[in-house]
């Protein structure tokens, strides 16, 4: 799996140049707007809730001794909880709502890589692509929250909380990469087949998602570039995987 994670990371190397070459920036206008509005909404909400969550957690400590220390730690943990849940909600909201706009981007990249414009794709409308995006991301949101909540509880345990942070990051990355890969898979697979494909190549999804999450750490610029770069990288790698599995008949992936 480690090798696949590296492949997922490497796919970003030619993403920016390919977006410019294929003149894809215009397709990202609406998704970028969705990304900015969603980030601002979640950010402002998180800012207002972090202290409240910290105070709620600190109220669990019934003794006077160590109260101040526990309150400080609780506020910090409250902030982590808000950031973690905020990132989860953010990525699934923008990936779901951006699905109808990202599918054409993915298709243009596929045509560029294969040189074939007449693949026997599943034909879907704007509404179907939107529903597919919502369905996939609602499914992923539920599973991610079920995994994330126990991991957040581990943060109260010294030493173990260090490993829980790494695990939390990788879980976030996997589901981000999952959503990005599905923009390509949507044309080739039904819902369940897409889930099975990503599970098979979970390393690719994690590699793609790692950069996705890291981009969000860059103020302002990150939320603008996160979808263009991550979707392009995921499309590049997913098309290659489909070709390797013989899913793209009568086409050959060109070497960039």
29 token code pair:
């206008």
d(CA 31, CA 97): 8
Q: What is the pLDDT of residue 177?
A: 96
The distance in angstroms from the start CA to the end CA of the chain is: 25
Where helices occur in the chain by DSSP H, the ranges are 2-10, 15-21, 29-58, 67-114, 126-153, 160-185, 191-200, 202-215, 221-244
Mean pLDDT per block of 10 residues along the chain (256 residues) reads 92 93 94 93 77 69 70 71 82 93 92 74 77 92 90 74 85 95 92 93 97 92 94 96 80 41
d(CA 137, CA 179): 7
User: Could you tell me the pTM of the whole model?
Assistant: 0.83
Cβ contacts of 103 within 8 Å, gap of 6 or more: 124, 129, 183, 186, 187
d(CA 132, CA 183): 9
Cβ atoms of 35 and 218 closer than 8 Å: no
Residue 227 gets the label, from left (phi > 0), alpha (psi -120 to 50) or beta, of alpha
44 token code pair:
């402002």
Cβ contacts of 76 within 8 Å, gap of 6 or more: 54
Burial label for 122, CB within 10 Å (0-12, 13-18, 19+), is exposed
Three-state secondary structure along 171-200? HHHHHHHHHHHHHHHCCCCCHHHHHHHHHH
Cβ contacts of 157 within 8 Å, gap of 6 or more: 164
Q: What is the pLDDT of residue 193?
A: 93
Cβ atoms of 11 and 233 closer than 8 Å: yes
136 token code pair:
């996939």
74 token code pair:
């609780």
């Amino acid at each position: 799996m480690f090798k696949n994670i590296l492949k997922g990371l490497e796919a970003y190397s030619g993403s920016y140049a390919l977006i410019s070459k294929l003149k894809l920036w215009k397709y990202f206008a609406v998704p970028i707007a969705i990304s900015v509005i969603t980030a601002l909404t979640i950010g402002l909400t998180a800012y207002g809730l972090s202290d409240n969550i910290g105070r709620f957690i600190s109220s669990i400590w019934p003794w006077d001794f160590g109260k101040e220390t526990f309150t400080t730690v609780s506020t910090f943990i409250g902030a982590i909880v808000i950031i973690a849940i905020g990132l989860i909600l953010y990525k699934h909201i923008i990936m779901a709502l951006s699905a109808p706009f990202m599918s054409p981007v993915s298709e243009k990249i596929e045509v560029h890589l294969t040189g074939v414009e007449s693949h026997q794709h599943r034909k879907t409308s704007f509404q179907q692509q939107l529903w597919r995006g919502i369905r996939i991301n609602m499914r992923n949101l539920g599973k991610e929250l079920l995994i994330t909540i126990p991991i957040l509880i581990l943060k109260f345990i010294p030493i173990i909380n260090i490993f829980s942070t790494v695990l939390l990051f990788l879980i976030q990355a996997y589901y981000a990469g999952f959503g990005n890969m599905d923009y390509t898979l949507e044309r080739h697979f039904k819902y369940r087949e897409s889930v099975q494909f990503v599970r098979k190549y979970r390393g690719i999804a994690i590699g793609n998602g790692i950069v996705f999450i890291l981009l969000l750490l860059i103020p302002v610029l990150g939320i603008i570039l996160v979808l263009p770069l991550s979707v392009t990288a995921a499309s590049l790698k997913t098309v290659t995987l489909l070709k390797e599995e013989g899913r793209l008949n009568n086409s050959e992936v060109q070497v960039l």
